[in-house]
Chain A
Amino acid sequence: MTARVEFRGIAQRFGTFDALGGIDLTVEAGEFAVLLGPSGCGKTTLLMILAGFIVPTRGEVFIGDRQMNGVPPARRPTTTMFQDYALFPHMSVRANILFGPKMQHVPAAEAKARADRLLAMVNLADAATKKPHELSGGQRQRVALARALAVEPDVLLLDEPLGALDLGLRKQMQQELKHIQREVGTTFIHVTHDQEEAMAIADRIVVMNQGRIEDHGSPDRVYLRPATLFSAGFMGELNRLEAEVGDVSAELVSVDTVAGKLALPRTAAAGFDPQVGQHTILCFRPEQCRPDGDDSHADHEALDLGECRVVESAFFGTHLRALLAPPWAEAPGIVAHFPQRDVLKPGDRTTLRVSRDAAFLLPVS
């Protein structure tokens, strides 16, 4: 009921368009993996290749130890949950769930037991005789999930299944999905363009762009120490400063920036080997900015980027968001999040400090 998935050198061409250019990726059995990227990045194509709906131009797909090329969708140990749910409109909820077991000639008694168990699991026991059009969006989504799980796949493929739901329901369904995935232990591969959703549910995030994998790893790793500039920007709001590498030692990397010479821990350059004179980008996220009066850490642990002018500020509930014009530029360029109790008005001045451990360096690609 669960299996490892492996892509080896998968490439896909549609006419003259390269949708995927050589994807190598392994997802472990029982993992909840999320393919994340902007529309057109190839994530859905990759999912459809795994499902067998698209035959890749090149490369191999393995599920468990079995090579899947040439195996039609019906014979693969995968099922897909479609973006529009694709429920059979002329069948009841129960008939929808029983469809797969029936096609696989599962004995009626066992199929019924499965359907009952799944209906209970997705909280739809009362709605078993209803038709899809009588259900709410969230309920339809649950039916689609139950229907997909009824054939007991090794791998469940989810094609932006939460895209049509409103925000509150989406958060609730994310929780339920994660919970159900733990319960059944099936490998889930989920496609989305929403990085918050990805972080909420994934054991592993695979960031894709223009048919390539930019980065993959645990949510915290991909967010805090992204491998590429694209990945860093896609995972969340980002401030960037051009930085030229000065000295490199075992513990420290020093860089020259418009804000002066800054010393960073060697770990700030995680994915590459910084060379003296190399052009890099110093990145930090808005919430990694320190408020002016914060003395909870000793000063030498923060990077001092100088005194900035507040251009705009707005209260966001969880934080105060400020747009800052740094001293080295007239135009506003830095976004910072400060604690909600801070009061900053346009025209105020504040010293911009960034946690030294949080900032990171990325090579210019």
Chain B
Amino acid sequence: MTRRALGNVGVAGYVLLLYGFIYLPVMTLVLFSFQEGRFPIPPFNGPSLRWYEAVFADGKLTAALTNSLVVALLSSALACLLGFLAAYGFARYRLPGAGPLKVMITAPLTVSYLIIGFGLLVTFNMAGISRSLWAVGIGHVVINTPLCFAIITVSLGEHQRNIERAARDLGASDWQVMWRVTAPMLLPSIVAAYFLSVTFSWDEFIIAFLLSRFDVTLPVEIWSLLRSGLNPKTNAVGSVVFLASVAVVLILEFVVFRRYSSRRAA
């Protein structure tokens, strides 16, 4: 064998090994969601859909799923709006103290969710605000606003500034510039920020755990399922979440972003 061929075998082996490592837990998860028996460990006896039936029959799980969706979609919309407005304001106006303020807005990115959640918990306690999905939503806006702000700031360069100037020069007012030119022009990055934000909120556990009480989000509900140990029902709900998320990712990748990236390449 030549050295090059040996190298190729090494490369292929490494890739297989790592993809195997990356997919091992997911595959195990999905496989044993079809387990007939009560334990999601080998040997596999199935396939059976009984645990999926159990998931959809579980009112608490489906309620949690709805809660998660509502919190993710709404909190991300607000985070995106706050982030977009702030990015636009900082990029287009000279404001005293802009530097420290930008640091403050992005600071939550570097702080553990546990600490953000705990901080909100003690503060809400003092203020007499009770734990609820609203509180969870507030927490999720806190963690996602800096994300949206950062993503949108990056896409507001000097070229975009000239485009806005051109619009103003042609007679558009400030609001017209923002809604007719800036926002549509930045749509790809706003969509990306919104989607990423939804993902983070949808998946977030610790803030939701600390700040919710009776109505909980899906990760918190799954967490309480885990108390009962290894259980194919957990596999089933995990698989549903995974496949639904993957479907959304693939749709975005192949429908939305493919279009934009081909446009950018042109």
A and B touch in the complex (CB under 8 A): yes
* A residues with CB within 8 A of B: 51, 53, 72-74, 78-80, 82-84, 86-90, 99-100, 103-104, 131, 133-134, 147-148, 151
Say which residue of B162, B185, B264 sits within 8 Å of A133 (CB atoms).
Answer: B264
* B residues with CB within 8 A of A: 159, 162-163, 165-173, 176, 181, 184-185, 187, 263-264, 266
> Closest 8 A-B residue pairs measured CB to CB?
A103-B171, A100-B170, A86-B162, A86-B166, A86-B163, A133-B266, A90-B184, A82-B162
- Chain B residues near A90 (CB, 8 Å)? 184-185, 187
Cα–Cα, bound, A133→B171 (Å): 24
* A103 lies within 8 A of B165 (CB): no
Query: Chain B residue with minimal CB distance to A99?
Result: B170
- Chain B residues near A73 (CB, 8 Å)? 165, 168-169
Tell which of A73, A87, A131, A134 has the most Cβ of chain B within 10 Å: A73
Say which residue of A53, A86, A103 sits within 8 Å of B172 (CB atoms).
Answer: A103
- Chain B residues near A87 (CB, 8 Å)? 163, 166
* B168 lies within 8 A of A74 (CB): yes
* B159 lies within 8 A of A86 (CB): yes
* B266 lies within 8 A of A80 (CB): no
20 extra A-B contacts, CB within 8 A, seeds A80-B169, A82-B162, A100-B170? A53-B169, A72-B168, A78-B169, A80-B166, A84-B159, A86-B159, A86-B163, A86-B166, A87-B166, A88-B163, A88-B166, A89-B185, A89-B263, A90-B184, A90-B185, A99-B167, A103-B167, A131-B263, A147-B166, A151-B171
- Chain B residues near A131 (CB, 8 Å)? 263
- Tell me how many residue pairs across A and B have CB atoms closer than 8 Å: 65
Q: Per DSSP, are chain B's interface residues mostly helix, strand or loop, or mixed?
A: helix
Cα–Cα, bound, A84→B163 (Å): 9
Cα–Cα, bound, A87→B176 (Å): 16
- Chain B residues near A147 (CB, 8 Å)? 166, 170
Cα–Cα, bound, A292→B167 (Å): 60
CB distance from A134 to the nearest CB of B (A): 6
Cα–Cα, bound, A130→B44 (Å): 57
- Chain A residues near B170 (CB, 8 Å)? 74, 79, 99-100, 103-104, 147-148, 151
Query: Chain A residue with minimal CB distance to B165?
Result: A53
Cα–Cα, bound, A83→B168 (Å): 16
Cα–Cα, bound, A169→B167 (Å): 27
* A88 lies within 8 A of B176 (CB): no
